[in-house]
Amino acid sequence: MQVYLPIAEMSLDVFLLLGLGGAIGFLSGMFGVGGGFLLTPMLIFIGVPPAVAVATQANQVVASSVSGVLAHWSRGNVDFRMGGVLLGGGILGSTAGVFIFGVLKSIGQIDLVIALAYVLLLGIIGVTMLQEALRAMLRRRDPKPPVRKLHQHIWVHGLPFKMRFRKSRLYISALLPIGVGFLVGLLAALLGVGGAFLMVPAMIYLLGMPTTIVVGTSLFQIIFVAANVTLLQAVQNQTVDAVLAAILVLGGVVGAQIGGRLGGKLKGDQLRILLALLVFVVASGLAYELVATPDELYSIAPLGLPL
Amino acid sequence: MTGRFAIATTLSLLLVAAPAPRLASATPLVADLSDHLIAITTDFTGTDVLLFGAVDGPGDVVVVVRGPVNDATVRRKERVAGIWVNRESVEFRAVPSFYAIASTRPLDEILDLPTRMRHSIGIDTLRLSAPEAERSLLPEFRAALERIKTAEQLYRPDVIDVTFLGDTLFRADFQFPSNVSTGSYVVEVLLIREGEVASAQTTPLVISKSGIGADIYQFAHVNSFFYGLASVSIALLAGWIAHLVFRRI
């Protein structure tokens, strides 16, 4: 059944979109990743204009993070003070990102930047995931725990404006979470991703937060960053497709719940390797399109949109 | 189905009128469309529009359908460090978003080029100006524009058949794909005799979004701030509902 997407201005099969939303939701429920970094390239693959895919995806991220954060909140795993500081940086970053997005769109380079950034990010994520999964498998065979220092002192701990984060049991410079928030917000706006895949490692390794608090806190601030991106994209670029977002959200929430339930029962490592491979496939698909000689070297962009 | 019925009635009226002695004041050409309004609704996948009419004697019929004009930027990719990047661009002014031609015979058998130019019949006769662009780039970029529009089924370089039913009645079918632009279209019907335009009639055709899709599009473009707020609110609500629903299961 075809459905006409009023902002993307094209017809797509509603079951394909539901399936896509569901499959990504399934993965996100199973692996605890937002899934935006896979859904946006998938949407671009099936023909949604990249600008619409990114902006609409940000809207979908709002919905999926809300249902995620509520679950974490009920377990008391959200550091609101840390979330607030991260959010400050996130709002600045995402606002800058939407502005850059608009500029790139007007000079015709937005599709290139989105594709390049995705190839780079997915490549890095794929490698990291594969490494971690393989290391975990090896560790199980050789059950000697790695020796790690309790608290490492690097240059970041010398920064000014120190703040106390009780829940995270940290006393660090506020500039650090603001910087992390800014970078992730920038990516959220440019790529339509929640940024959890960057935020979570940064919070663990750079800020040194306890892992139990990390996911809930990152989801908490992602809600607001994604909401900010959606709002700004809607105002500046008019690229948020409400119909597309609704279908993706519907498929996504159902998929996420099923994935979450299944994920608890299944062995993680092999699945992680599979996800890493999937990430690689998407990345190489995008990379191939950047390098391969296109069938059509020319493209048309309408100037003013008539009402 | 009301369109069908209207055609049937009009055709039968024309049939009744045809054998009557030709009055001096009678128009040599009458034509109309099965629909004057195409509504793009949420299940829109493209549509067909039937043009029908009658002529008062021998001659060829040519129909030109033009979509609303927009400015358009055509960009060309070039390989930079192994990656294909948009480099050169040409901004064309007043590009018809849709262009299709129907005719009883191939155009060059009916009309010579100057006449076609004068009435701008044929994609090659479109006056696409690009005041700021480099002259040398124009032919290639224009060809690309036509090629892409053709691939999107928005330009029809192949002439569509106008078929005669008997000596006086004719019909032509036009297809509009799902990516068609909204706005006011002009359908021009020309009666050609001895290489000249003997009679002409224009009929408007409006394509507009309708129903919820139209409301969403309007909302997004006119009140974009509140549209953004609404989108965010719906997403917040959806996430909350999902949490409530699945907590119980």
Count Cα atoms within 13 angstroms, Cβ side, for A196. Answer: 28
A 239-278 residues with CB below 8 A of B?
A: 240, 242-243, 245-246, 249-250, 253, 256-257
User: How crowded is residue B201: how many other Cβ atoms within 10 Å of its Cβ?
Assistant: 17
For residue A62, name the pLDDT band (cuts at 50, 70, 90). Answer: confident
Report CB contact under 8 Å: B214, A6: yes
Per-residue pLDDT tens digits for A144-190: 555 554 455 566 666 667 777 777 777 777 788 888 889 888 888 88
For residue B226, name the pLDDT band (cuts at 50, 70, 90). Answer: very high
Provide the residue type at A170 as one letter. Answer: L
**In the predicted model, what is the mean pLDDT of residues B73-81?**
85
Tally C-beta pairs within 8 A across A and B. 193
Q: Please tell me what DSSP assigns to residue B181.
A: P
Nearest CA in chain A to B211: A6
* Facing A4 at nearest CB: one of B42, B91, B247: B42
For residue B2, name the pLDDT band (cuts at 50, 70, 90). Answer: very low
Across chain B, the runs of DSSP E, i.e. the strands, are: 29-33, 37-40, 47-55, 60-66, 69-80, 83-96, 99-103, 155-161, 163-165, 169-176, 183-193, 196-209
pLDDT above 70 as % of chain A:
86
Same domain membership, residue B215 and residue B204: no
Report CB contact under 8 Å: B235, A227: yes
Q: Which residues in chain B have their CB less than 8 angstroms from residue A189's CB?
A: none
Count Cα atoms within 13 angstroms, Cβ side, for B76. Answer: 13
For residue B7, name the pLDDT band (cuts at 50, 70, 90). Answer: low
* Terminal C-alpha separation, chain B: 48
Q: Tell which residue, A159, A170, A186, has the closest CA to residue A89.
A: A186
A 88-117 residues with CB below 8 A of B?
A: 108-109, 112, 116
Nearest CA in chain B to A235: B224
Is residue A271 predicted with pLDDT exceeding 80? no
pLDDT at B230: 92
Chain-centroid distance of CA A204 in Å reads 17
Question: Which of A130-134, A224-228, B12-16, B127-131 has the lowest average pLDDT?
Answer: B12-16
How many Å apart are CA B78 and CA A256, to the nearest integer?
41
Strand partners of residue A302: B72
Same domain membership, residue B159 and residue B38: yes
Q: What is the CA radius of gyration of chain A?
A: 20
Q: Which residues in chain A have their CB less than 8 angstroms from residue B144's CB?
A: 296-298
Please work out, in degrees rounded to the nearest 5, the angle formed at the alpha carbon of residue A246 by the alpha carbons of A33 and B244: 65
A62 at interface of B, judged by CB pairs closer than 8 A = yes
Report CB contact under 8 Å: B40, A4: yes
How many Å apart are CA B236 and CA A60, to the nearest integer?
9
pLDDT at A152: 55
Same domain membership, residue B197 and residue B235: no
Q: State which residues form the domain around B247.
A: 211-249
Per-residue pLDDT tens digits for B44-58: 888 899 999 999 888
Q: Has this prediction a pTM greater than 0.90?
A: no
pLDDT at B25: 46
* Facing A227 at nearest CB: one of B224, B227, B232: B232
Chain-centroid distance of CA A255 in Å reads 17
How many Å apart are CA B97 and CA B117, to the nearest integer?
19
A65 at interface of B, judged by CB pairs closer than 8 A = yes
* Pair of tokens at residue A205: 């390794």
How many Å apart are CA B194 and CA B110, to the nearest integer?
8
**In the predicted model, what is the mean pLDDT of residues B31-39?**
88
Select from B246, B247, B248 the residue whose CB has the most chain A CBs within 10 Å, as the one to mutate to test that interface.
B246
Tell me the range of A69-73, A220-224, B147-151, B239-243 where mean pLDDT is highest.
B147-151
Number of domains composing chain B: 2
* Pair of tokens at residue B235: 């997403």
**C-beta of residue B171 within 8 angstroms of C-beta of residue B162:** yes
Same domain membership, residue B178 and residue B106: yes
Q: Which residues in chain B have their CB less than 8 angstroms from residue A297's CB?
A: 76-78, 84, 144
Q: Tell which residue, A81, A258, A243, A98, has the closest CA to residue B219.
A: A243
User: How crowded is residue A74: how many other Cβ atoms within 10 Å of its Cβ?
Assistant: 12
What does pLDDT average to over chain B?
83
Give the β-pairing of B196-209 and B37-40: parallel
How many Å apart are CA B59 and CA B195, to the nearest integer?
10
How many Å apart are CA B190 and CA A293, to the nearest integer?
44
Domain boundaries, chain A: 2-141+153-291
Strand partners of residue A10: A5
Burial class (CB in 10 A: 0-12, 13-18, 19+), B49: buried
Same domain membership, residue B171 and residue B51: yes
**In the predicted model, what is the mean pLDDT of residues A211-231?**
83
pLDDT at B5: 52
Select from A4, A220, A288 the residue whose CB has the most chain B CBs within 10 Å, as the one to mutate to test that interface.
A4
Is pLDDT larger for residue B66 or for residue A31? B66
Question: Which of A19-33, A232-246, B65-79, B223-237 has the lowest average pLDDT?
Answer: A19-33
Chain A nearest C-alpha distance from B185 (Å): 14
Select from B97, B243, B247 the residue whose CB has the most chain A CBs within 10 Å, as the one to mutate to test that interface.
B243
**C-beta of residue B182 within 8 angstroms of C-beta of residue B11:** no
Same domain membership, residue B223 and residue B198: no
Is pLDDT larger for residue B134 or for residue B186? B186
* Residue A122, C-beta contacts closer than 8 angstroms, at least 6 positions apart: A37, A41, A279, A280, A282, A283, A286
pLDDT at B22: 45
**In the predicted model, what is the mean pLDDT of residues A239-246?**
89
Chain B nearest C-alpha distance from A62 (Å): 6
Same domain membership, residue B148 and residue B53: yes
Is residue B23 predicted with pLDDT exceeding 70? no
* Facing B231 at nearest CB: one of A240, A299, A305: A240
Report CB contact under 8 Å: B86, A60: no
pLDDT at B64: 93
* Facing A231 at nearest CB: one of B40, B178, B232: B232
Same domain membership, residue B198 and residue B106: yes
Is residue B12 predicted with pLDDT exceeding 70? no
Nearest CA in chain A to B179: A10
Chain B nearest C-alpha distance from A26 (Å): 14
Question: Which of A126-130, A239-243, A270-274 has the lowest average pLDDT?
Answer: A270-274
CATH number for B195: 2.60.40.1930
Nearest CA in chain A to B73: A301
pLDDT at B78: 84
**In the predicted model, what is the mean pLDDT of residues B17-39?**
69
Report CB contact under 8 Å: A59, B232: yes
pLDDT at A304: 42
Give the β-pairing of B155-161 and B99-103: parallel
Same domain membership, residue B138 and residue B47: yes
What does pLDDT average to over chain A?
79
pLDDT at B65: 93
Same domain membership, residue B165 and residue B93: yes
